[in-house]
Structure 1
Amino acid sequence: MQLRQMAVAFLLNERREMLFLQKKSTSAFLPGQLVPIGGHMEGEEISEPKRACLREIEEETGLAEHALAGLELRYIVHRIKDESEIRIQYIFTGEVQSGSRLMESDEGRLMWVDCGNVLNQRVTASTKEVVRHYLETGIHNHTTYIGTMHGLQGQAAMSWAVLEDWESRGSL
């Protein structure tokens, strides 16, 4: 079984819209779908997911770190794909500074989607579950959550837990 690690960002603007990349219809990975900004981590980035996320943001949008505010790790999602691959996705949230200019990449078209409309778009089940949780719970705090993707009554579902260092809280 292989292990694949990814770092992505859900970036918001002042109008409460999220930035997505619509993959080209000819893409080998998720053709035509809306995906958060990000991608696979390089070998030297495995212990630094934020570094990978910043690299991917700049590659896909042209935005440098100074154009972002509050970029923080908010979710770690685990899932198994085709019984042959375990995927670990480090998901950051942040804001694009007003007046920042986006540059398209050759991977697809950048689109701002109203937060309330994301769940109606052509996105993966895991993206829907993260966005749903973020809008219901995560947007109100700075907690980091860990999610495990699974099936529930024939539908995709995510189980959530708070990621915390319980030892430092005196709970031994």
Structure 2
Amino acid sequence: MHDAADGAEPPRPALRRGRRLGVDVGDARIGVASCDPDGILATPVETVPGRDVPAALRRLAQITAEYEPIEVVIGLPRSLNGTEGPAAAKVRAFAQGVAKIISPVPVRLVDERMTTVTATQGLRASGVRSKKGRSVVDQAAAVIILQSALEAERLSGKAPGESIQSSV
């Protein structure tokens, strides 16, 4: 039997097994990322054009069918003090549309404060610049959203964020 005094780490809560999709919703573009079934590594999938919402929802449904995730996590933009503004209301409405079109796959909203800033800084540091980098930034932000959701679940042992119920 190990205890904290002997330096052994306490057992970590189990992460549910299964692939997940992470989604960063923007006005012009929607970044999509996926992780492996063990939730170890999130990787970019694609950038979906976001201006035509019905077309974006159809593409996300196709990606969901292709990847067969156990859930889709969508970043919810909150202000730094945690309040929700117009951007969050748009994402909530979009998440409802996603939940409806991909049902019965669960959709969850997770806090995404600073993900685009973090993604942009990381990509700049690795030499990605200009307009060409924008679609990559959206995918990188989706990776960060997914990685943080996986880490939150690892730490708490519970599904991350807030469940969106589809009104089907």
- Is the TM-score greater than 0.5? no
Structure with more of its chain in helix, by fraction: 2
* TM-score, with structure 1 as normaliser: 0.32
Structure with more of its chain in strand, by fraction: 1
Higher relative contact order (CA 8 A, sep 6+): 2
* TM-score, with structure 2 as normaliser: 0.33
